[in-house]
Structure 1
Amino acid sequence: MANSGSPQCPFTTPGMVLHSEAFVGRVNEIKFIISRLQDNHQPASVTIVGDRQSGKSSLLYHIYQTYHIHIRGHQVDRFLVIYVSLQDANCRTQADFYQTIARETLKQPQIHKFPNLEASLQGDIPDAGAFSKVLEVWKTEGVILVVCLDDFENFLDRPKEFDKDFYDSLRNLISLKGLMLIIASRKLLLVYSKKKKITSDFFNVTADCPLKDLTDEEVMALVQLPKNGLPALRENYRSLAREWGGKNPCLLQIAARCLWEAQEHNRTVDWAKRQFDNKVRGVPRKFHLFKLFYESIASLGDLTQELGDMVDRVGSFGKGLVVIVLLIFALTGLVTINSQQVPGWFFRSPEEPKATPK
């Protein structure tokens, strides 16, 4: 659940940052996403990947709020950006999902610049087929609908409703060049494809944007968030916030909030630390980039593993075939088996370890 914080306190916890002026950092990630948005050939969908409470929802919402600031000049009219959370009760079915997109799009003030686009979203849009007709109109008008799609895991929690055909349809909608998705996900989509055994090209279509730690400059900017034009925290409390929160934006927000409350209500630092420790239980302390890299390689390496297993099976089959042929020849008297002439594996039981060369 989002929480914008009190009017006096600039630090947001728990939940995502709703006010763009309180959002700090992620400069490189924003540049990456906007560069994909402005690709002259075709905008490429993006997946923001990060652990729970890593700030991915805040970044996604910030893109929705401020994309027009980052896009060059008149190009801003090429895009209409909306935000959709799949935690919304109105996104439980495919029909609900497409209807929610239409409803959120019609709420945007920019839609009134394009009467044809506005008209295309009127009425029921029950499935991907109906939505593809909407996107054909958008393509004709030269406008791309960008959907900031939060809480992707909610799709995966309803496999009967959001099945392989749904993902294939979503992939086809993206290929129409009238739709771009910016997805917030806890894992790489390829990892989910493997785990859920969903073989759809949709899971290969997005560019990954893994969240890293904040830079030193971004950490400093966060703890210096202002109240009435001045830093809300006194200097020694800003140092403590950096010490407690490290470079994790969620932990920093919690640390700064606890210290701000202690400062405002004449509480001790020990009190603030106890509050912080209670609130951060279960919050990942580091961004596991190695884990993301490993999961990506593991997903791509499945084919190699299967080929290796196949080679092993073929090798075992070949050995077994040789044994059978030799036994037949021995029983019929065509050959005489001398143990000195037969490879060691012929006599070795499967449990017996191979001899180590000296």
Structure 2
Amino acid sequence: MTTNSLPPNPFVAAGMIEDSRLFVGRQDELQPMVSRMTGAQPTSINIYGDKRIGKSSLLFHFCQTWEQRVQNPSRYVVVYLSLRNVQCQAETQFYQAIAQELLSFSNVNNNQALSDPLRVTPLDRSAFSEAMKQWKKEGVLPVLCLDDFQTLFENKSEFNNGFYDNLRSLMDSNTLMLIIASQKKLDFYSKKYKFTSSFFNLGHVIKLVELKEDEVKDLLLLPAKNNNNLQPALSMDEQRLTQQLGLNHPFLLQIAGGLVCEARQHGHDKEWVKKRFYDESKRLPSQLNSRSWKRRVRWLVWDLPVRLGKIPKFIGGSVDDISNWIIGLVILFMFALVVAGVLNLNEVWDFIRNSLGLK
């Protein structure tokens, strides 16, 4: 994909981010992934977090960029596999799906020492283990980024303790490295489904949370953040609106940014954006419920005062949002005094007009 083919709306709210130029942030997670892979003893990782927090995008981006992050790429092969999107009803199908991804690399497909062990039929547990051991003899570490790993747990007849024990054995012998994405930590699933395998105690666990403030700013600057020849898709006012709606949640920011771009294209106003945003963000009910108090507080301490502060405009005033906010806070305080019986409405109104010199 060329630079010119970047879409005018760079925000991705429909699923995983597949264009690496539209991926921002997550350096605090990417660096440990590299260091655990390139260390003297590779350490498998469990990345967990809420739905739509960006786990799939992170794993996919790592698979796209790992060669630029390591000193000797020939020592590794990193693949991404979503277990939700492949046919893995049987254990052999799991191994076959991995083999297919590994064989998609030309340096694997053209190297018989690496490719022939993966073409064994049937590619069962024993054959897969032998293939991985052959890779180790060749000095190549396969790194499997496995997304939606929790989809395997309910099929205990196929993916039992023996299956997980074998994966753990391959990891402990530095034959294989896994980077596993799941909604909960793996030990949560071991308790829920009563697994006893030591596989579920992975060496390193990363909780994926909301974006940091500087990462939010980088996202709002897309596509210019990763290309100095481009301009941000959002104006400063549009960036503020997007952040006001999405806060620090990556998926909500993508929804808000996409809607703002759409509104500009079709001539819709802010109220249209807000209404559409709250409708579409219902796809994250649990996350939104946990944030609803933040929005209520923001509405009380910012949005409401600003709206109240705009009242003088209707009688001849002209002020910016900061002035609106200050004036609005004064109005709220004055109305509180009215409720307390200290002032009456006429006194509040006269005070506002006198303060603004509108008499």
Fold in common (TM above 0.5): yes
* Separation in 2, partners of 1:82, 1:63: 9
* Separation in 2, partners of 1:249, 1:287: 16
Q: Structure 1, unaligned stretches of length 5 or more?
A: 289-358
Q: Would you say 1:136 and 2:137 are equivalent positions? A: no
Tell me if structure 1 keeps the 8 A contact 2:117–2:127.
no
**Bigger Rg, structure 1 or 2:** 1
Q: 1:287 to 1:269 in 2, by over 3 A?
A: closer
Q: Would you say 1:240 and 2:241 are equivalent positions? A: yes
* Separation in 1, partners of 2:264, 2:9: 11
Structure 1 residues 1-150: aligned runs within 5 Å: 7-40=7-40, 42-71=41-70, 73=71, 75-112=72-109, 114-150=111-147
* Separation in 1, partners of 2:27, 2:68: 13
* Other structure's SS at 1:262 match: helix
Q: Determine which structure has the larger helix proportion and give its number.
A: 2
Shift of 1:122: 1.8
TM-score (norm 1): 0.75
Shift of 1:89: 3.8
Q: Would you say 1:199 and 2:196 are equivalent positions? A: yes
Moved over 3 A (4+): 112-115, 284-288
Moved more, 168-177 or 77-86: 168-177
Letter in 1 for 2:248: K
* Other structure's SS at 1:147 match: strand
For residues 137-165 of structure 1, what are the alpha-carbon distances to aligned partners after superposition, in whole Å with 9 as ceiling and x for unaligned? 11111100001100011101212221111
Letter in 2 for 1:253: Q
* Separation in 2, partners of 1:132, 1:125: 13
Aligned to 2:287: 285
Tell me if structure 1 keeps the 8 A contact 2:21–2:223.
no
Tell me if structure 1 keeps the 8 A contact 2:95–2:123.
yes
* Separation in 2, partners of 1:287, 1:22: 28
For residues 171-230 of structure 1, what are the alpha-carbon distances to aligned partners after superposition, in whole Å with 9 as ceiling and x for unaligned? 122223221000111011111111111111000124101112211111001011027711
Q: Structure 2, unaligned stretches of length 5 or more?
A: 291-359
* Separation in 2, partners of 1:158, 1:59: 26
Tell me if structure 1 keeps the 8 A contact 2:221–2:232.
yes
* Separation in 1, partners of 2:170, 2:63: 21
* Other structure's SS at 1:90 match: coil
Q: Would you say 1:208 and 2:188 are equivalent positions? A: no
Aligned to 1:346: none
Shift of 1:170: 1.4
* Separation in 2, partners of 1:83, 1:180: 12
Aligned to 2:294: none
Number of positions where the alignment pairs a residue of Structure 1 with one of Structure 2 = 281
Q: Would you say 1:181 and 2:178 are equivalent positions? A: yes
Shift of 1:125: 4.4
Letter in 1 for 2:165: D
Tell me if structure 2 keeps the 8 A contact 1:51–1:287.
no
Aligned to 2:222: 225
TM-score (norm 2): 0.75
Letter in 1 for 2:183: R
Shift of 1:286: 7.7
Letter in 2 for 1:252: L
Moved more, 199-208 or 118-127: 118-127
Letter in 2 for 1:11: F
CA RMSD of aligned residues (A): 2.0
Q: Percent identity?
A: 39
* Separation in 2, partners of 1:131, 1:286: 43
* Separation in 2, partners of 1:119, 1:127: 14
For residues 93-129 of structure 1, what are the alpha-carbon distances to aligned partners after superposition, in whole Å with 9 as ceiling and x for unaligned? 1000001111111112332563311222223243221
* Other structure's SS at 1:281 match: helix
* Separation in 2, partners of 1:8, 1:277: 23
* Separation in 1, partners of 2:276, 2:289: 23
For residues 35-88 of structure 1, what are the alpha-carbon distances to aligned partners after superposition, in whole Å with 9 as ceiling and x for unaligned? 111111x110001111111101100111111111111x2x21111011111113
* Separation in 2, partners of 1:178, 1:286: 42
* Separation in 2, partners of 1:252, 1:202: 35
Q: 1:30 to 1:89 in 2, by over 3 A?
A: closer
* Other structure's SS at 1:24 match: coil
Letter in 2 for 1:157: E
